[in-house]
Each structure stands twice: as structure tokens, then as C-alpha cells.
Structure 1
Amino acid sequence: MEKTIYEILGQEIFDKVGGSGNVEKLIHCMTRVRMTIRDYSKVDIDGLKKIEGVLGVVEEETLQVVIGPGKVNKVAQTMVDSVGVKLGDPFPKGTQTLDEIAQQNKAQAKNKYNKPSKFKNVMKSISNIFVPMIPAFVGAGLIGGIAAVMGNMIVAKQLDAATFQQFVDVMNIIKNGIFAYLAIYVGINSAQEFGATPALGGVVGAVTLLSGMNPEMPLHNIFTGLPLSSGQGGIIGVIFAVWILSIIEKGLRKVVPDSIDIIVTPTLSLLGVGLITIFLIMPIAGAISSGLVGAINTTLRVGGVFSGFALGTLFLPMVMFGLHQILTPIHIEMIAKTGSTQLLPILAMAGAGQVGAAIALRVRLRKNKELSNMIKGALPVGILGIGEPLIYGVTLPMVRPFVTACIAGGIGGGVLGAFGNVGAIAIGPSGVALLPLIAENKWWMYAIGLLAAYISGFVITLAFGIPKEEKEKADNYMADHSETAKLVVKETLKRENVECNQVIKAPVSGELIPLSEMKDQAFASGMLGKGVAIRPDSGDFISPVDGIISVMFPSKHAFGITSDEGVEILIHIGMDTVTLDSRGFESKLKQGDRVKTGDKLVTVDLELIKEAGLEIITPIVVTNSADISIVEPVNKLAVNAGDDLIICK
């Protein structure tokens, strides 16, 4: 794939600072990429300044490469993506080149619509862990789904085993390449998400498979005394264990000398987390499993609609925690005693509920092309009874559609409970693939249950299960991406002069200060454009023109506004206020909003900025000054908000 201008610019910056291995961490503000450098002797300052697209370089506590608003966030994101870390996270040590590091999994794009919260961050992390695996889920899942249908038809004697069994075996071998070792893949991706060493995360995932355990002397659950079983604790247990690994590993790296770090840190990390996983995480899940056995048997004895709804609703949460394995002995016992398991078709309704919910999400959020394509690839796999792509990649990170899907699974289970005695003659994959295994020619009852779960999942999710922020993201998708397209065109084509007769108003009251007197060299030198600074005496900032919010930094300390005349204006409230992370800044505006002259942009707590030891001086610059004949501030010592400030002709 051809690199974008942002990726090219980011790579050129890395080349001039001694490579990504010479960067400790990287963040950005409204106008510049800020890098903490490990060895300044490797930095080519003159070379940085000569890069096309770099407006200037500021050498302070961090090395600041000035790129300008609108581009800096995209360039910075491509730079951290190429390394496989998040903005502000430590870069990996070593001398890897950018191209070598770029082959690692890239960091997930920031969702600007999600309001930060611990719970949402957890859900987002789960999504980040599983989304990279979705292509493998889809490919292997479709192969496994076909194998499941054929295998079930062989069991039902609808296909000849001598002719088709080897085909089924080959397809299952391919499918199990991911599903049999899913815990390892999850461990690797979890480590990347939490900042641990990926290989160590894979080992932690493999620990839950208990591959080294002596079957003659199995490890026992410390709560119940029963033997531990492979996979106990589930995928959620693996994620939790790797999160603990990241804490232990980071802590050890702070205290272990570099000379023995490669030996001591991984050894102690694996030993500690391995013990926690085997003797705490897995046994706790096992203890819960043992308690659930009695509850499930009681529910089955009650029978009818109630048992169907309860089991169909609770099955997916059980899968998440690896508790579904306790059901295998129940299936086997039911088949031995009655010739079929009535439990399996009911539990299959949980996956059908996920399918209905996913269809609803695709219909309502279809403008979000990435999500829509993800669902499109995962739906056929879900219909065939393999639900991991839909669960972990789509519904669970959003939470609400996962809940509505579980309820829909309960409705499907209730339908089968009402019919009664709808069983499967063998244990096999669920979904449509289970149809050939339904006993006593009652496949049509099972099909009705599937349809009930599909339809109820669709209706309930469409009505109650789609988060507001996901709707906003989808509704604004085209606008956001068209803006990106315009930026690319703007940077790749020769810019033309802007013809305008624009008067920029003062966004706030205060004392006027020439840009040349500012301490910040990026503004003082005029590299970001011509303009003027204001020392505000009020925290109420208004729009200086009629136009569009073209750029809005998440911390709300800086705004880019493109006026209807084509003038691009940057308002940067204070210096280094990005470090406050929006504390003291309150605004309801978002990128893409239209504003009129005098509309309130943001309310700022100036005292909080001062208490943090930061400067409140606010530069107002025309970033496309080079394309405008005259950009001239008014000749005044002070202004009130709304007064004439800058004349553009």
C-alpha cells in the first residue's frame, strides 16, 4: 500500500532524530510533535529543518518539530503507530530501524467520540486486542464452519465418512491453528496493548493450556480440590493475567540493572504471573464453575421457557470466563441417557442473538465503513456458529449490544424451551451448522428458535443497544474522512493565493503582545504564521470569524478555525497547556461545527493555568499567512472581545 504524506513525513523526522530507537516517548500539541530524545548527538537539527513540511524546530526540554495544526496529529499518530505504541507511552529500547519496527502490529486509532472512563478504556482495550485477529477469525472460521456442517452431516449419516472425513479433518486442522491456541494469540496482543513484552504475554496465555502438566499428577484447584482443566479462566482470565504481567514487568525494569535485565526481568515476570495464573486465576474460575454446575442442573430440571431463557442469556458470559467447559460432561451424560442433549440447541441461541445484534449495528452504523466491513466479514462466521469475531470485535467493546444480544439469546432459548425436547445427537458447533444434528426430525423447531434469536437481537439492539457515541461516530464518518481527503489534496497540490477581505475579531479581552516578544520560538519567529498575542483578562473566548472548527485539540486548549473567506486561524490558549489534559477548559464544540462571530468557543480557568506554573498568553495567528497579501494586527495596546484584531487582505 502506498504511504500517505503523513507517514512519509513521520519517517523522515525519525530518520533525522537518529531513528525511532533514539526516541523515549512522543506526544503532540496543536502545532508540533514533541519527542523525548535519548541521545541528542544522533539528532540532525539542520536536517530536520530542511524536511519539506517541517516549519521549524524548537529545542527545549523536549525536541519540538513544528508541523502546524491539522497535520500534526496525523503525523504524530503515524509515528507512534509505526512503532506499535500509543501517544505518550515509552518507545521500545534498541536499535531497530523504522521499517523493521513498522512490521509489528500498529496501535489502534483514537476514537475521538469516546468520553474517557475506566470502564470504556477496558472495553476499548478488549477491542484493540481482538480486532487485529478478525481476519484470521473470519478465514479460519469459515473453513471451520464448512467443516462443522460436513462433520455433522457425517454423524447424521447424510454424508459418507470414508469419502469426506479426511476433508473435514484437514479443514479442522486449519481452523484449529487459531482457535485451539487462541489463548496464546490473546496473550501476545494483550501484552502489546498493555505495554508488556509480546512474547511473554504469549507464554502467559499458553500457561492456561496446562500443556506441561503431568496427567498422572494433575494440579488441583486450591478451593475445591478438583483437578484444574485446560483453558480454565477463559480468555478474560488471560487478559487479566497479562495486565498483571505488564505491571510486574514495568516495575522490574525500573529497578533491575540494564546489564542483567534480559535475564532477570522475564524470568521473574513469568514465574510470578505463572503462579498467579495457575493458583489463583484458574482456580477462582474453577470454583465458580463448580458452583454453576448445580445451578444449571436445577435450571434444566425446572424446564420450559424459564430454563431456556436463563441458559440462553447466560451462556456467552460463561464463555468469556471459560466456564462453558463445565457443560461438556452434562452434554455427554444427556446423550448417553436420552440419545440427545437438549442443552446444546438452547445454548446455541446465544450465538444467534449476537448475529441479530450485529445486523442491527450494521444497518444503523453503516456509514462507519471500518465497522461495517468488520461486521460484514464476521457475520457469515457467526451464522455458522463461531461467535468470537462478533463478540470480541464488535458487541462486547460497545457493551450495550452485547447485553441486548444475550437477551435475544435468552428469547431464542425460551422458544426452544417452550417446544421442549429439542435435542442434538452429538456435540458440535452451533448456529446453522448444528441443523444436521438435531434429533427426531425436529430441525424446524431449532430453525424457529434461531429466527427468534436473530429477529429479537435485531429489534432490541436497534431500539436499545447502540451507544450514542457510536451513532455520532457513524453519522460524522463521511465528514471526518472528507476533511482528511481535503488535507491530503491540499498538501499534495500547489497552494493558491487566498483572495479575501477579512477582519479577524479579538477572541478575548486583554493586553496585546507582539508575537516577536513571546518566549516560544515557534510563534515568535513567525514560523506558524503572522498574528498577535493577547494576555487575557477573562476566561471567556469567542469565535473571531464566521467559519468552521477545522481542528479542535482534545484538551480544548487550541482551536483551528477556517473562515468563510478561506483564512485559517489558530487560537492557542496559553503555552504548554496541553499538559493539563483539558483540566480548566470547558467547551461543547467539536471539530466540524459551524460558528458565528461572537459564539462562545471555550471557558477557561486562567487561575488554574497560572497555579500550574504555565503561561496564559494566547497567540492568534493566521496559519496560511503566506497565501494572503496582507496580514496586519491592529495598532492598539489592548482590546475587548469582539474588537477588530487582525486585518487580512
Structure 2
Amino acid sequence: MAEDKYQVLAKEIYDHIGGPDNVQKVIHCMTRVRITLKDDSKADTEGLKKVPGVLGVANEDTYQVIVGPGVVNKVAADMVAQVGVGLGEPFPTAAGGAMASAATDYQSGKAAVEAKAAEVHAAHKAAQKQTWWRAALKHISGIFIPLIPAFVGAGLISGIAGILSNLMTVGTLGGGWAQFILVLKVINGGLFTYLNIYVGINAAKEFGATEGLGGIMGGLVLLPGVVAGTAATTITNIFTGQALTAGSGGIIGVLFSVWILSYVEKFFHKHIPDSVDIIFTPFLTLLIMGVFTIFLVMPAAGWLSNSLVGGINWILNVGGAFSGFILGLVFLPMVMLGLHQILTPIHLSMIAKLHNTPLLPILAMAGGGQVGAAIALWIRCRKNKQLTNMIKGALPVGILGVGEPLIYGVSLPLGRPFITACIGGGIGGAVIGGIGNIGSITIGPSGIALIPLIYQNRWFGYVLGLLAAYVGGFIATYFFGVPKSAMVAKDEMGNLLTADGVVADAPVGADEPVEAPVVAGASQFVATAAGQLKHLDQVNDSVFSTKMVGDGYAIDPTMETIVAPVTGTIANIQDTKHAFMMTTETGFEVMVHMGLDTVEMKGAPFTIEMKEGQHVTAGQQVAMMDLAAVKAAGHDTTIITVVTNMDHVDNIQDFQDGKVDVGDKVAMITSK
């Protein structure tokens, strides 16, 4: 069997570095095979630079052979396979003829490298600049998401109790069920009666305060020990002069109080001596925040909560179908931007005052629009096996109310189906709003899973709205929302197929994937982070500074958020998370490398929020880098952005070094 080009390149590298006997271990990053040599003097660096496929050689902390993205992983895998070890594992010491044989036997077969399965469910977060309100939404999410299972479980129990109560009322069930129904109501009350306390504890954890103090803030909103209607135990509302009502302000008040408490507690921790900190900090924090919450937060938050609930009810009652359409239409974009988290306290406030939230059934119609759009895509794009397989996997859970797979794996990447799915959600919302008085007794699920939770058994109206959303999303997508590109015949791996069902432009046995056509045009590149923009020749790494890998720009970051430098698709993410590759519609292959020599940190300081195959726009958040951890490990935090296929580049617009904000325009790069 003939050697492939990766085996040949691996053989040439071994030939020029003294063979496997001279190697301690081999790893790789995005563009370089990193080799730890036993004896540097045995390496023929100048000769290795002349080997076809070798873009450059650098001998710094390790011996680095630059071969480029997409090639490096295959070459490194072949090198370690010849020796029988894994990447990063120590090479065995030569014994007898074992290593000599390994050094010369380069035709033992191609190393088996498993292709990573494309993941359908991708986190599509619209993260532009880190603003205060995005931070607030992140906190709200962190507080309530851990409670979602409790909401679902307690809500279903409440729904069962309501059904059994109705059956008793009509005489279908006997009085012997009363005790069981009471037990179900007690279980449900275990969550909702003391929900303020749970929220207070989670909020304290999220804001960095003592969790017990946060729980007390949630508990005192219930005014424990105050007996309603007894003048001797009434606390006066300082704004109205009336008796303060237990629960005033509810969840909104608890969130605000615990947020302020976190600052008060941190202040005392900082200024009170350690020897008495455990005594005076909780005492003073509780005293100050208790008075502040009872006399200021509860009345103010109570007014705000009542106004929100009253305002939403007025909108739904007056606007009817029109209000339902708008709410159903805009909910998916709110999810995409992370704005939907702000609705959780509003839902809970409505449940506390009305015993149901009329908002949730309307907003749940957005998922129904997604289901209808997916079915339309399945029919219209049946030749696209890759897409239809995604739909088959995502559709059942979408019907059950889990919409993320359909949103992020199907409709959003295609563009137009996302819009037509929103229209379907608006149609379903219009039906719910038009019928009116359809609410949910808890939050959590949507889709058909919400049916048992509909308030006062008005589930039939909810089902009508859900069917309307299915039909609306289907019709809008079938006739107006199917991109031509989605109807192209593809196999399960995304390869283009001919009319005969054969992979296009790929002869039998070919190892290389079909490359996307290069479209002449310009791509706008933006700053991947806030910091100091500089040319590559200023980077403290010879591979990048001499542009062995490609040309581009670098940023010394002052923030940990890293965004996409250009609009395109995430083509590859390193296992060590320190680098990722993108491809653009103009044919550019773009590498973003976070820090220098950070491959050695094995992914510890990095968080990648995207998945391979996911489409991103310039300025969209892709990753996070813990700058302090990188610096503590002795590494440079510079972020490199380079176009690696320079043969496709016609022109790179020059730029000025200086301070940039994340997402600022840096350069326009034009393809041939």
C-alpha cells in the first residue's frame, strides 16, 4: 500500500531529527508538531526546512515543526503511531532492535485517527460587549436554572392535585382521595411557600455572599412572626402608612436585597479585624440589610411587582391576539440574545399573585413554530441527509418542549427558517392571546409537556394555539423559508452528492474532504478582544512574527472574552482549547491562537463556547481565557489571528497599532 503524504512527511521529520530514538515525546498545537528532543545536535534544522510540506522550524522551549492546520494532527498522529504511544506520552527507550525497527518501518500503515462526530446541539450565545445588563442576565440565569427541576416537579404535582380535585368535585372520585390530594398540595407548597428563601440562597451564591444570609433575606420578606390584622404585630409601610403585607416585593425584592447585601458583607469583611469578623460582619450585615429590606425594598419592590403584573395583564386583555402575536414572535430572538432570563422573576411574581402566569403559554408557542419549520425543512430538504438526520434527532425533544437543538442546530444556522419559525410562534401566540385566560401554574417546560400544567384545565385552548404554531411555522417555512443551499443533496457527513448519489469531486478512496469553493470578495476582520493591537512582527514567537503560518494581527488582551475575528464557520477546535480554526465564505482559513505556548496548559484556562461546524458572526463571543492563570503559568497572553491559506489572499488592508475594543474593525482582507 502506497504511503500517503502524511506518512511521507512524518518519515521526513524523523529522518531529520535523528529518528524516534532521539525523541522524548510528541504533541501538537494548531499548526506545529512540538517535539521534545533528547539531543538537539542530532537535528538537521536547515535540511528539514527544505522538506516539502514543512512551513518552518523553530527551536524554542520545544523543537517545533510548522506544517499548518489540518495537517499537523495527522502528521503527529502518524509519528506516535509508529512508536506505539499516544500524543504526549513518553517514547520508550531503545531496547534490542525494537526502536531501530520502529525508526525504519514507516510503511506499517496509516495511523487511525477517528473523526470527531459533528455535534448538533451548539450553544449560540449572542455575546457582544460585556455590558452591565448582560452580566445581570447571567446572574439571573445562574440563580433560577438550578431551580427549574423543582419548578417542573412541583408544578406537575400541583397539576395532578388539581385534576384529582376536579374529579372529586364532579363525583368521579370519592372522599377518600382528599387526604392524598392534601399531601400533594403540601409537597407543592414545599417549593412555592418558601421559594423566596431558595432564591435568596442561590442569589447569595451567585453574588458571592454568605448563602445563609441570603436565605434570611428571602425569609424575612415573608414577615415571620407578624400576624396579619393584629395591630400589635403590624409593621407600617412608610410610604403608604398602611400595614406592610407579607411577601411584598416577592422575588424581585429578594434579588435586589441580596445583591446589595453582597456589597455590604464584603465591605465589613474588608474593614473589620479578622479576630472579630465572624461575630460582627454577619451581625451588622443582617441588621442593616434587614431594616433596609423591610422598610425600603419591600414597599418599593412590591409596587414594581404589582405594576409589572398589572401591566402585562392589561396588555394581554386589551391587546388580545395582537399582543399574543408580538410576544410569540419576539421570544426566540430574546432567547438568542439571552434576554429571556429576565422573564423568570416576572413569571414567578404573576404565579404568586394570580396563581398562574399567562405569559408562559404564549411564549411557549415559539417552540411550536420551530417544530413546524423543522417539519417543512424535512420535506423540502429530504435529499440533504445531513440536515434531515439533524431534524430527526432534534424534532422529538422539540415537540416535548426542548427547543435548543432545533434552534441552534437547524433553523438558526440556515437563517431564513429561524425567521419563519418566529412567525409560526407569533401565529400560535395570537391564538392563545385571542382565546385569553390561558395560564400555567408553574414555569419550566413548554411544548406538549406544558399541557398538564395549564391553569384550571383550560388545556384545550393551549393545544389549539400549539397546533396553530405548528401549522404557521410549517406554511411560512415551506413556501418562504427554505434556502436553496439546504436543498442540495448531501450525505450524512455533509459531502455534496451527484445525481447518482456519489460524493462529488471525491474519487473512491480519497482521504481529503471536498473543499468549499472560494468566492472572490472581501471579509471584514475585527478585534478578537479589547487590548493593544499590534502587527505580527512584534509577537514574541518566531513562528508568528516571521509569518511562517500566515499573516494577520495580534492583540495583547485586557479582557478575558474572545470573539470571532470574522464571519464564518468554526472548522476545528484544538483539544487543548487554546486555538481554533474558522473558514469564511470568501475561502479564508483563519486561525485564532490564544496565548503563546499555552498548549502546555492542556485547556485549563480556556472555555470554548462554540462547537465545530457552528456558524458565527464577526464579534460574536467564542471563548474565554483566564488571563491571570496564563500569566501565572509564565505564558504570554497575546491572541494571534492569521489567515493560513495566504495563496488565496489578494490584499490585506494595513492597520495602525494601538488600543482597540472588542469587535472593533481592524482590517479588510480580500480574496483572489
TM-score, with structure 1 as normaliser: 0.43
Structure 1 or 2: more helix by fraction: 1
